[in-house]
């Protein structure tokens, strides 16, 4: 099959795909380069960071399969995909585990002021009695979007004796029962926001969620609580978050996704010592990327 890989995936997987397929790689290439490469392609593999537009796909009359090496679809023109009957396969599971583990790491780092402790000690400051630490035990973890990633975080929170609340877009009795078996109590979004000591954002980016965590929502968060964004930049109003952090309404925040992403982009939040910023690395573990690569190979082989 003729395959275009538009985003970096596990290198060994690419080598194996090349054994029986015509494979072109163009990782995060500009739109004009992708447009020049795609016309004879049958399969397109992509992740976040590259826009898969209707205009791009229209240049590939033989395109029949899209493989999203991950979960989110905010960079894909879904209307075009549905209209033209192109198969779309997502691979959310391996990355979901990695993102959830990063989120839990964020909670520990925020609760124990790890970044500040590390920074001071590197400067010779023995700040043992200046740092404030909290246990996760007994705290409330609020999952705003209790899907694959959110429910995994919730199960981790329960294992650490946290009280876990979650909300979903379309609650049902079946969903409540399923989450309940995972020790996550399904409730309304307002209660999740107001009750959480740690509020984790785990919803997809779309028209309904853009700007969802705005100044009003942040104001309803518990004073001294922490916010974690593992979803997408654009869901959290970063200006409002900055204001809440500098006014001491929130104790801290951790973001793996940002309103402006890419080389040379510096968030205003970078000036704050109680904020952890990572460059959209949630799913970027060797283990998860290897598993995603293996699944890409399986999908292609099944369609060949």
Q: How far is CA 177 from CA 172, 185, 187, 203, 301, in A?
A: 9, 9, 12, 20, 37
DSSP H helix total and E strand total for the chain: 12, 12
Confidence label for 28 from pLDDT (cuts 50, 70 and 90) = confident
> 82-86, 163-167, 204-208, 248-252: lowest mean pLDDT where?
204-208
Supply the pLDDT for residue 304: 81
- The reply to whether 195 and 215 lie within a common domain is yes
Q: Which residue has the tokens 């997809």?
A: 204
Supply the pLDDT for residue 71: 87
Buried b (16+ CB within 10 A) or exposed e, 25-34: bbeebeeeeb
- The reply to whether 151 and 245 lie within a common domain is yes
Q: Is 295 left (phi over 0), alpha (psi -120 to 50) or beta?
A: alpha
Please check whether residue 280 lies inside any domain of the structure.
no
Rounded to the nearest angstrom, the gap between the alpha carbon of residue 33 and the centroid of all alpha carbons in its chain is 27
Q: Are 135 and 193 contacting, i.e. CB atoms less than 8 angstroms apart?
A: no
Query: DSSP class of residue 270?
Result: G
Asked if residue 139 has pLDDT above 90, the reply is yes
- The reply to whether 105 and 237 lie within a common domain is yes
Could you tell me where the DSSP H helices lie in the chain? Answer: 11-20, 31-37, 54-58, 78-83, 93-111, 114-122, 148-159, 173-181, 189-195, 215-219, 238-246, 286-303
Please check whether residue 132 lies inside any domain of the structure.
yes
- The reply to whether 162 and 38 lie within a common domain is no
The torsion angles phi and psi of 122, rounded to 5 degrees, stand at -65, -20
- The reply to whether 141 and 177 lie within a common domain is yes
Active site residues: 232, 261, 280
Q: CA nearest 277: which of 244, 241, 303, 243?
A: 241
- The reply to whether 269 and 183 lie within a common domain is yes
Q: Read off the pLDDT of residues 167-181 as tens digits, 9 standing for 90 and up.
A: 999 999 999 999 999
Mean pLDDT in residue range 250-267: 96
Please check whether residue 247 lies inside any domain of the structure.
yes
Could you tell me where the DSSP H helices lie in 62-188? Answer: 78-83, 93-111, 114-122, 148-159, 173-181
Q: Read off the pLDDT of residues 187-220 as tens digits, 9 standing for 90 and up.
A: 999 999 999 999 999 999 999 999 999 999 999 9
Q: Provide the residue range defining the domain that includes 27.
A: 2-90+285-303
Supply the pLDDT for residue 49: 87
- The reply to whether 207 and 112 lie within a common domain is yes
What pTM did the predictor assign? 0.91
Cα torsion 287, 292, 293, 294 to 10°: value is 90
What percentage of the chain reaches a pLDDT higher than 90? 97
Three-class SS of residue 269?
Answer: helix
- The reply to whether 25 and 125 lie within a common domain is no
First-to-last alpha carbon distance for the chain, in angstroms, is: 7
Number of folded domains in the chain? Answer: 2
Average pLDDT, the chain: 96
Q: 164 has which bridge partners?
A: 141
- The reply to whether 65 and 207 lie within a common domain is no
Please check whether residue 279 lies inside any domain of the structure.
no
The CATH number of the domain holding residue 30 is 3.40.50.720
Mean pLDDT in residue range 18-34: 96
- The reply to whether 133 and 38 lie within a common domain is no
User: What is the token pair recorded at 58?
Assistant: 């229209």
Q: 143 has which bridge partners?
A: 166, 200
- The reply to whether 127 and 85 lie within a common domain is no
- The reply to whether 230 and 292 lie within a common domain is no
Supply the pLDDT for residue 78: 96
Please check whether residue 278 lies inside any domain of the structure.
no
Q: Read off the pLDDT of residues 34-80 as tens digits, 9 standing for 90 and up.
A: 999 999 999 999 998 899 999 999 999 999 999 999 988 999 999 99
Question: Cα angle vertex 70, ends 145, 162, to 5°?
Answer: 35
């Amino acid at each position: 099959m003729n395959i275009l890989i538009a985003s970096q995936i596990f290198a060994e997987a690419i080598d194996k795909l090349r054994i029986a397929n015509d494979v072109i790689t163009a990782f995060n290439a500009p739109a004009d380069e992708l447009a020049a490469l795609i016309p004879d392609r049958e399969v397109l593999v992509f992740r976040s960071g590259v826009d898969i537009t209707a205009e791009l796909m229209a240049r590939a009359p033989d395109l029949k399969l899209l493989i999203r090496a991950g979960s989110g679809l905010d960079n894909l023109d879904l209307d075009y995909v549905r209209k033209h009957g192109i198969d779309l396969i997502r691979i959310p599971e391996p990355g979901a585990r990695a993102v959830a583990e990063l989120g839990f790491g964020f909670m520990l780092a925020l609760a124990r002021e790890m970044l500040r402790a590390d920074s001071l000690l590197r400067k010779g400051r023995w700040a043992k009695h200046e740092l404030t630490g909290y246990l996760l035990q007994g705290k409330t973890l609020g999952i705003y979007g209790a899907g694959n990633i959110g429910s995994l975080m919730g199960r981790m929170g329960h294992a650490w004796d946290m009280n876990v609340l979650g909300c979903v877009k379309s609650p049902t009795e079946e969903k409540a029962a399923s989450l309940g078996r995972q020790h996550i109590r399904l409730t309304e979004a307002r209660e999740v926001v107001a009750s959480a000591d740690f509020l984790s954002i785990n919803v997809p980016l779309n028209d309904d969620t853009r700007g969802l965590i705005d100044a009003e929502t942040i104001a309803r968060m518990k004073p001294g609580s922490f916010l974690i964004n593992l979803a997408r930049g654009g869901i959290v109003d970063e200006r409002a978050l900055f204001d809440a952090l500098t006014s001491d309404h929130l104790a801290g925040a951790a973001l793996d996704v940002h309103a402006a992403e890419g080389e040379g982009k510096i968030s205003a939040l970078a000036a704050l010592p109680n904020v952890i910023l990572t460059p959209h690395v949630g799913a970027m573990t060797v283990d998860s990327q290897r598993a995603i690569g293996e699944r890409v190979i399986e999908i292609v082989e099944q369609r060949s």
